[in-house]
Amino acid sequence: MSDKIRLSAVTLDSSDAIRLAEFYADITGGTMTQFGDEWACVQSPAGRLNFQTVPGYTPPTWPDPTASSMMHLDFMVEDRDAAEARVLAAGATKYDFQPNSNQCFVYADPAGHPFCLTTWEAPTV
């Protein structure tokens, strides 16, 4: 046995796990690999995303200094304009406030989770 830890997936709450999984499968070129009324998984070229239906789900608000978005996803893209067209066609909305528009654009998925399309690769240490 080993004490090695590696990230398996990220799980996002929503009011409709299937709808949100369909959105992320569409924008990432992934495939829904498992789904039910309250749970769905998407296997994408970059890894696995999970989605769960949560009764009474409340989407995060962004930007809002009094509320936390908890987390957001960053997606590396080659052409932000082309990627933007793709995510908007799939049902995302672009936020008016863009704090780092020189390197990324911020959107909300259909459940209201913020996510970024970026061309900036973080330096490795």
* Digit-coded pLDDT (tens) for 56-98: 998 888 777 777 666 789 999 989 999 999 999 999 999 999 9
Rounded Cα gap, residues 70 and 68, in angstroms: 5
Contact 34, 40 (CB under 8 A): yes
- pLDDT of res. 112: 93
Q: What are phi and psi of 13, to 5 degrees?
A: -80, 155
Q: Is the pTM of this model over 0.75?
A: yes
| Average pLDDT value over all residues in the chain | 89
E strands, 15-90, are 31-35, 39-44, 47-53, 73-76
